[in-house]
Amino acid sequence: MSLWGSRMSAPLDPRVREFTSSLEADKRLAAYDVRGSLAHARMLKRQRILSDDAADRIVAGLEEIAREVGEGRFPWPDDAEDVHSAVEARLREKVGDIAGALHTARSRNDQVALALRLFTLDAIDSVDDALDDLQTALLETAREHVDAVMPGYTHLQRAQPISLAHHLLAHVEAFDRDRARLGEARARAGVSPLGAGALAGTSHPIDPRSIAEELGLLGTFRNSVDAVSDRDFVAEFVFCCALAAVHGSRLAEEIVLWTSSEFAFAQLEDRLATGSSIMPQKKNADAAELVRARGARTIGAVTAILAMLKGLPLAYDRDLQEDRAPLYEALDIAREGGRMLATIVRGLRFDRAAMRRACERGYLTATELADHLVRAGVPFRDAHAVVGRIVRELADRDRPLESLTLDELRRYDTRFKASALDELKVEHALASRSSPGGTAPVRVREALEAAEARRRARAGER
């Protein structure tokens, strides 16, 4: 069904029809298109633009269609060029020619913009839910491992001992920012464009604000040209998904490393690992690897939507039909990746002893020795040089820091005190980092409570 054929003197070439059809991509918008049409029909009745009888029949037909779409039994016509024509054709089957009156004071340009905004709002919520589940999994795991010590890394080299919970909370912080961005994107997506028409508005006495209120939107458009050409909300959401996927890829990479034989910090439950068709001993973190890989596609989606919008003249151009592919891809990857990571995190079994041994063999408490000398009045750069020499000579002999005696320390600098031996212990180093936001267990417990409070507050805002 075509909504515009009367202008042409010849039927559309089938190749053009197939090339320009957006029906397959539009199917995910069907429920939102019907919601927008219901709000529009009710507004037309309130404003006396349609008679009560006509509006009531249209509303009844649309409600039947909404049920068909929701139950997955909507009959998609082969000849429909998009979701709008498919819904209108089905409405005509139900209520007759009066279905054509639904398009009064409306263009497909503002109609599709509204459906996209409604879809994006639900998409934002679904990604936020997935990230909430992931944060919950991280917080649950962190709470079990506040006192578990592991190497913290810089340049993928062992650096300083930290709490496993502290490390997991770093990921919680990243996903917190992602969720804050989604909330901000939600506010900008929640604007109704209905009433803008094709680009210039309408001569009918419409009430756009009542439509926005019925749909639970925050407000209405201020400029009709902008209303039909704006896809910022799509680009912003796609970027939010991409950054969340990038953050997810960092966690996924660490899971792959931690569960490798080289690190051996954790094991995946068997139900979450795959094997090899030729090597019987293999236990692979394939799901984490795919989370890591698919994040790259969300970066491609950001590029696609921005490149599509770049240089596009106002107001509406058919190019905007291509906004759906990056939107759907970013949504699906971010949502499913978040859900998968939550499942994986809950299925990790950490080996505290292995993480503790890794801390002992990497000279991770060297900074404690330097700080000890600083407290004795040695400038930090001088203390750094002293401890660097100690580490170099111990490494040559394959000796850990904790094997040093006080006499040996004093051969390097007489200002070492007996307390330096305690400060070489991993647990002491962990507890001493009690500055705000530090890795000391007392600070980590505070951070856990604060993170839980933020989660509860955000849930209350939804």
pLDDT above 80 (res 12) = no
CB-CB neighbours of 253 under 10 Å: 15
Lowest mean pLDDT among 147-151, 234-238, 406-410: 406-410
Give the start-to-end residue ranges of the domains of the chain: 5-104, 109-352, 358-441
Q: Which of 132, 52, 142 is nearest to 98 (CA)?
A: 52
Identify the CATH homologous superfamily for domain 358-441: Fumarase/aspartase (C-terminal domain) (1.10.40.30)
CB count, 10 Å around CB of 397?
7
Mean pLDDT of 127-155: 98
The C-alpha atoms of residue 454 and residue 441 are separated, in whole angstroms, by 20
In this prediction, residues 341-360 reach a mean pLDDT of: 96
The distance from CA 261 to its chain's CA centroid, rounded to whole angstroms, is 30
pLDDT at 250: 98
Q: Which CATH class is domain 5-104?
A: mainly alpha
Q: Catalytic amino acids?
A: 155, 276
Q: What is the pLDDT of residue 159?
A: 93
Cis bond before residue 315 (omega within 30° of 0): yes
Percent residues over pLDDT 70 in the chain: 98
Q: Is the pLDDT of residue 3 over 70?
A: no
Residue 264: per-residue pLDDT: 97
Q: If you write DSSP's letter for every residue of 328-341 in order, what string do you get?
A: HHHHHHHHHHHHHH
Q: Minimal CA–CA distance to 450: which of 144, 135, 124, 161?
A: 135
**What does the pLDDT read at residue 1?**
52
Angle at 19 between CA 18 and CA 23, to 5 degrees: 65
List the structure tokens of 431. Answer: 């507890």
Residue-wise pLDDT tens digits, 204-263? 999 999 999 999 999 999 999 999 999 999 999 999 999 999 999 999 999 999 999 999
Distance CA 76, CA 89 (A): 10
Q: pLDDT grade, residue 186 (50/70/90)?
A: very high
CATH number for 109-352: choose from 3.40.30.10, 1.20.200.10, 3.30.930.10, 2.60.40.1180: 1.20.200.10
Out of 9-23, 90-104, 139-153, least confident range: 9-23
Q: What are phi and psi of 150, to 5 degrees?
A: -145, 160
The per-residue pLDDT for 337 is 98
5-104 matches 358-441 in fold: no
Please list, in sequence order, all residues whose beta carbon lies within 8 angstroms of the beta carbon of residue 278, skipping any fewer than 6 positions away.
none
CA distances from 70 to 336, 400, 441, 462 (A): 22, 65, 50, 23
- Complete DSSP assignment for 53-74: HHHHHHHHHHHHHHHHHHTT--
**Alpha carbon distances (Å) from 394 to 148, 160, 385, 401, 408:** 26, 17, 14, 7, 11
